[in-house]
Chain A
């Protein structure tokens, strides 16, 4: 049993499944469209939502992309029907929660929400061991990312909500670690991760890709 799972997919990938999957794939920038700007300027207030500063919107969109990543991962695993037993049950339960997170962020951000990137999980949603390995990495990643971003939030109501999600992600991390056969909780203190660290890890997986090009203006040569 490993004590130090960390956030690094390389360290996670002891049998090379992820390395095999990511070979030769796109290295496209990960958080496309997420502005890096911060500041205390009041940007947006809808009828029911609390005020959001530019810094809040920036962090919320960053979190939304992580939630997109997780929800797409679990949704694809469930659709594949290849993950069975306790891992399959966990994929369904956690996926349903991640989809709820996505909806909540999109509802709050409205037209400011970034679009969902295209994800190519390269088979890790279709093989039980690779699925659990990647699930652990994603959940640990999310926990560290929320912790890293929390100090940037400026609106108390948003901080409260982010903390609520952060603890849920930590429970998911413990669940997936348990299913994978490693210790659910290892350290007395979890380190946050910077946005640069998170982006680098996700980018190197090659899971973020571009949409297939299926349209053309070439004249048809169908049988007519």
Chain B
């Protein structure tokens, strides 16, 4: 059918429907008005039910720069230099930390390798500080997200916490003496200890992935922590074996704001 003919047929059909509808509504010469009367006799339809759920517009993820991921280690494995099963080993990946919590790693990226096997690039809690490696995805558990990051300024003796890029906490700190310096670099919070009995560490302690580069024979490997103190008079100062000490009121406040997995930059 040509376009002109199709248009003509369409107009004809439309006109026929229009005439029919008009006849129905007006009662028309042959209808006698019965359909209209019947329609008027019907009870009114109920109004459509209101919606119970107020569904908002789609919610895009938005800015992702402030979000970082971490994951627990679910299977004993090794971190490798490249995302390949036979690549050189960087370090073994333990299930537990020396404090008995689940070992976690900070997620830096991922790549699908041969056979669609997914490899995850992670930051490791081993010496040398700042080490990274690739682990099979199946060695890790559920990803978790944080939008916080802590910056420790060893020159200003100050710790600052950001949440979604906004500063939410600032406090003076004590850091390592010159002979046992607090290591610089990018780390993450591995665990949180509280309700222990040790006044030296105050009421709360966070364990970092950072390790002392001088006190390597310290019990449990010389991991650096962020914790309270029984000597608040020494904060701020260069007074510790490498740990970052806060006054107890400050560490309690930080404990309400900083989740495990938070990236920590010490500079």
Residue positions of A touching B, CB distance < 8 A: 17, 20-21, 25, 49-50, 52, 75-76, 78-80, 82, 92-93, 95-97, 99-101, 103-105, 107-108, 118-123, 126-130, 155-161, 164-165, 209, 211-224
Say if the beta carbon of B171 comes within 8 Å of chain A: no
Given contacts A160-B49, A160-B51, contact A220 B142 (CB under 8 A): no
Q: Is the interface of B mostly helix, strand, loop or mixed?
A: loop
List residues of chain A with CB within 8 A of the CB of B227. Answer: 220, 222, 224
Q: Are A126 and B55 in contact (CB under 8 A)?
A: no
Nearest opposing residue in chain A for B73, CB measure: A212
Q: Which residues of B contact A224 (CB under 8 A)?
A: 200-201, 225, 227, 240-241, 243
Which single residue of chain A is at the shortest CB-CB distance from B50?
A157
B182 (CB) vs chain A CBs: closest residue: A223
Residues from chain A with Cβ under 8 Å of B191 in the complex: 214-216
* Minimum CB–CB distance for A165 against chain B, Å: 7
With contacts A118-B142, A122-B137, A215-B193 taken as known, whether A103 is within 8 angstroms of B59 at the C-beta atoms is: yes
B233 at the interface (CB under 8 A from A): no
Best-buried of A52, A118, A164, A219 by chain B (most CB within 10 Å): A219
Question: In the complex, A221 Cα to B225 Cα: how many Å?
Answer: 9
A49 to B64, CA, bound (A): 33
A40–B50 Cα gap in the complex (Å)? 20
Chain B residues within 8 Å of A221, by CB:
98-99, 218-220, 223
Q: Is B2 an interface residue (CB 8 A)?
A: no
Partner of B67, one of A79, A97, A165: A79
Contact with A along B43-82 (1 / 0, CB 8 A): 0000011111111111111001001010110100000000
B259 to chain A minimum Cβ distance, whole angstroms, is 9
A104 touching B112 in the complex, CB below 8 Å, given contacts A79-B145, A214-B192, A219-B196: no
Within 8 Å by CB of B198, from A52, A155, A219, lies A219
Q: Could you pull out 28 A-B pairs where Cβ atoms are within 8 angstroms?
A: A52-B52, A82-B110, A82-B112, A82-B118, A101-B55, A126-B118, A127-B112, A130-B116, A158-B52, A165-B55, A212-B142, A212-B144, A213-B101, A214-B72, A215-B191, A215-B194, A216-B101, A217-B194, A218-B193, A219-B193, A219-B196, A219-B198, A220-B196, A220-B198, A220-B201, A223-B222, A223-B242, A224-B201
- Whether A212 touches B72, Cβ cut-off 8 Å, given contacts A223-B215, A224-B200, is yes
Given known pairs A130-B116, A222-B227, the reply for A159 and B49 (CB within 8 Å) is: yes
B145 to chain A, nearest CB (A): 7
